[in-house]
């Protein structure tokens, strides 16, 4: 069973059809929508500020979602896929985004819709990205525009598939 911890009179809350892997941890002021999944050893730590997560968000194995005390909350839109061991810290992600494995997004960066952050990329503090591009590198820079096939395959397909993967663990859906 997932490690769900109340802290500072804040109980994590979630919508319908969510899946939390047995070794995932969700703490404090965390609110997430429907059909979200939090995978093995992922941590969502709303202990020092608020974390808000939309619908059909998947937080893959070993990812960390955190924020900064009295400085930077974390907000994530709908249909966002956060890759294995990525760190999303005190920033805002709109909807329809793919964050690659091992990427790091730092305080008060803003990622608009229709963006892919490549594996291992670093989005520094206070940086606002532009919609419709793949970003890669340290620090992250525009690599190339996203075409419709890439958008559908990498962003939309991934977001659609994770509720299916979660159903394999729950026997058809629901919080585990």
Q: Cβ distance 88 to 106 under 8 Å?
A: no
- C-beta atoms surrounding 40 within 10 Å: 12
- Beta bridge partners of residue 108, listed in sequence order: none
Q: For residue 142, which of 174, 107, 112, 108 has the smallest C-alpha distance?
A: 112
Separation of alpha carbons 29 and 113, rounded Å: 24
Domain limits, the chain: 3-166
Cα(16)–Cα(33) distance, integer angstroms: 7
Q: pTM for the full model?
A: 0.95
pLDDT value at position 172?
56
Residue 176: per-residue pLDDT: 39
For residue 171, the model assigns a pLDDT of 74
Give mean pLDDT in consecutive 10-residue pieces for the chain, a chain of 176 residues.
94 96 97 98 98 98 96 98 98 98 98 98 98 98 96 95 93 50
What is the rounded CA–CA span in Å between residue 39 and residue 18? 11
Specify the pLDDT at position 170: 85
How big is the chain by its Cα radius of gyration, in Å? 15
**Residue 73 phi/psi, 5° resolution?**
-80, 170
As a CATH number, domain 3-166 is 2.160.10.10
């Amino acid at each position: 069973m997932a490690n769900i911890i109340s802290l500072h009179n804040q109980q994590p809350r979630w919508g319908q059809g969510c899946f939390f892997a047995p070794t995932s941890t969700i703490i404090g002021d965390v609110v997430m929508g429907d059909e979200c999944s939090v995978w093995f050893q992922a941590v969502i730590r709303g202990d020092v500020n608020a974390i808000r997560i939309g619908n059909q968000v998947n937080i893959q194995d070993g990812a960390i979602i955190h924020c900064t005390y009295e400085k930077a909350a974390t907000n994530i839109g709908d249909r966002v896929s956060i890759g294995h061991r990525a760190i999303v810290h005190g920033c805002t992600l709109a909807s329809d985004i793919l964050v690659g494995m091992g990427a790091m997004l730092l305080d008060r960066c803003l990622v608009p819709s229709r963006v892919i952050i490549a594996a291992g990329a670093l989005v520094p503090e206070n940086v606002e990205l532009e919609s419709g591009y793949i970003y890669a590198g340290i620090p992250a820079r525009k690599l190339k525009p996203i075409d419709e096939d890439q958008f559908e395959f990498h962003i939309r397909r991934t977001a659609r598939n994770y509720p299916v993967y979660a159903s394999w663990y729950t026997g058809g859906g629901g919080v585990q």
